[in-house]
Amino acid sequence: MASSAQSKPSGSGLPDFDFTKIFADMKLPGLPNMDAFVTANRKNMETLSAANRVALEGAQAVARRHMEIMQQSMMEMTEAMRAMASLEAPQAKAAKQAELLKSAYEHAVANMKELADLIKHSNGEALALINKRFVEAMDEVKALTHTA
C-alpha cells in the first residue's frame, strides 16, 4: 500500500511528512480553482494584517494621549500646590481644595471619555476591515460554487 505522503524518520522519532505534496495531490471538491482559493486566503491575511496595524496604531495613539494627559495633570497639580501654599486662611484653603477636587474630577472623567472614544474608534476601524473582507469572502465562495 503506497502512500502519497513520504515519511522519513526524524530526530524526534516522528515521521516527517511532505505536506506540499499532499496538498498538491489533493483534489478538494467544491474548489475547482485552487488559484482563487489561494488568492482569497492571501486577501484574508492582508486584511488581518491591516486590521492589526489599525489596532496597533490606535493603541499607540491612546498611549501617546495618556502620556500627554499625565504630563498635563502633573503641571496642573504643581500649579494647585503653589496656589494652596499662598493661601493662609483655613477657610480659603478648604474652599480652594474643594474647587481643585471638583476640577480634577471633571478633568479625569473627560480624559477617560476621550481615551475610551479613541479606543472605540480604533477598534471600530479594525472590525470594519474584517467585516468588509468577510462579506467579500462569502461573495467569492458563492462565485466559486456557481462556477463548479
**pLDDT tens across the length of the chain (148 residues):** 444 444 444 455 556 666 666 666 665 555 557 777 788 889 999 999 999 999 999 999 999 999 999 999 999 999 988 888 887 888 888 888 899 889 999 999 999 999 999 999 999 999 999 999 999 988 888 887 776 5
DSSP label of 17 = -
DSSP label of 13 = S
From the number of C-beta atoms within 10 Å of its C-beta (0-12, 13-18, 19+), residue 59 rates as: middle
CB 115 within 8 A of CB 62: yes
Task: Give the pLDDT confidence score for residue 4 in this predicted structure.
Answer: 45
Residues 102, 106, 108, CA angle at the centre, nearest 5°?
115
CA-to-CA separations, 57 to 51, 61, 146, in angstroms, rounded: 10, 6, 40
From the number of C-beta atoms within 10 Å of its C-beta (0-12, 13-18, 19+), residue 101 rates as: exposed
CB 116 within 8 A of CB 26: no
Task: Give the pLDDT confidence score for residue 20 in this predicted structure.
Answer: 65
Task: Give the pLDDT confidence score for residue 37 in this predicted structure.
Answer: 75
Record the cell numbers describing residue 102, joined without a space.
471638583
